[in-house]
């Protein structure tokens, strides 16, 4: 591969470093979620200007082969590809990173040990335990040395705080080196407390306040998912201090826009 290929490789990795820098400095980035496997959807959303896009393997039927294609499209369309794992699995982490993902969102992190396992699984030795393979991420071998240096400082790990056990262990979880931020899973969190979907319940509100207090004391960037594509909700979350915000997801954006137009006509 020529110098232009190397330049493109470096530019794509620089995008991830920019998002990582924003996470470290708690500066706002806005992304979205992909649950449909068609590459055109990823291309449209990336081209719209989202800072990052998450390929969701936990709550979708996207296969690892389809994930690779989505990662490639997001990357080439000038956004940062992240993957929400189906579980905190070292083999899956290795595969999505080799496919070219810039980082991972790890579901159901409950303890510091969970967080450490994710961090070690994304890094090569000596920082971690990830096995070395040659695939798209490393330019199919051509840019291995460049990738080796990049993954030490550029790969992104976001932990999902979605269980009351995680709230109780939050200081330890967010103190693990290599954890770049967190994102709250409100439905699962409320469910783990025995109050599923009761987001105004005093116990849930106390848990949310504890998350913000602990993260603030440790200077760890907070994230949240605005499920419905409503700008007012997005604005509220920004005002609340969240800086890693997922704005809706492909299926809700599609459904919402269709229904708005049709309801207008019916009215």
Q: Which of 38, 59, 163, 225 is catalytic?
A: 59
Domain boundaries, the chain: 3-266
Q: Is 201 exposed, middle or buried (0-12, 13-18, 19+ CB in 10 A)?
A: middle
Write out the chain's pLDDT in tens, 267 residues. 456 688 888 888 889 999 999 999 999 999 999 999 999 999 999 999 999 999 999 999 999 999 999 999 999 999 999 999 999 999 999 999 999 999 999 999 999 999 999 999 999 999 999 999 999 999 999 999 999 999 999 999 999 999 999 999 999 999 999 999 999 999 999 999 999 999 999 999 999 999 999 999 999 999 999 999 999 999 999 999 999 999 999 999 999 999 988 888 887
Q: Give the pLDDT score at 3.
A: 63
CA of 178: how far to CAs of 11, 112, 119, 194, in Å? 22, 12, 6, 32
**β-strand partners of 245:** 30, 224
Catalytic residue list contains 59: yes
Q: Give the pLDDT score at 9.
A: 84
Residue 96: name the closest of 39, 173, 155, 38 by CA.
155
Predicted model pTM: 0.94
Phi/psi for 122 (5° steps) reads -90, -15
Determine the Cα–Cα distance for residues 30 and 234; give it in Å rounded to an integer: 9
Phi/psi for 81 (5° steps) reads -85, 125
Task: State the architecture of 3-266 in CATH terms.
Answer: Alpha-Beta Barrel (3.20)
């Amino acid at each position: 591969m020529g110098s232009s290929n190397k330049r493109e490789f470096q530019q794509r990795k620089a995008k991830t470093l920019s998002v990582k820098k924003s996470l470290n400095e708690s500066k706002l980035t806005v992304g979205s979620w992909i649950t449909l496997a068609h590459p055109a959807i990823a291309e449209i959303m990336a081209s719209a200007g989202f800072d990052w896009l998450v390929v969701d393997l936990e709550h979708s039927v996207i296969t690892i082969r389809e994930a690779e294609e989505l990662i490639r499209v997001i990357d080439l369309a000038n956004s940062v590809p992240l993957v929400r794992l189906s579980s905190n699995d070292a083999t899956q982490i290795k595969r999505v990173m080799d496919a070219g993902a810039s980082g991972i969102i790890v579901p159901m992190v409950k303890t510091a040990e969970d967080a450490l396992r994710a961090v070690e699984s994304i890094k090569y030795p000596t920082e971690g335990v990830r096995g070395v393979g040659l695939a798209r991420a490393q330019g199919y071998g051509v840019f291995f040395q460049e990738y080796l240096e990049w993954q030490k400082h550029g790969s992104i790990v976001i932990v999902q705080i979605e269980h009351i056990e995680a709230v109780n262990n939050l200081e330890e979880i967010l103190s693990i080196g290599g954890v770049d931020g967190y994102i709250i899973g409100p439905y699962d969190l409320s469910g783990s407390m025995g109050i599923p979907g009761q987001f105004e319940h005093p116990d849930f509100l106390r848990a949310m306040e504890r998350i913000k207090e602990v993260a603030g004391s440790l200077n760890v960037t907070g994230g949240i998912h605005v499920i419905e594509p409503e700008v007012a909700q997005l604005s509220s979350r920004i005002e609340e201090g969240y800086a890693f915000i997922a704005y809706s997801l492909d299926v809700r954006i599609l459904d919402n826009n269709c229904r708005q137009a049709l309801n207008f006509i019916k009215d």
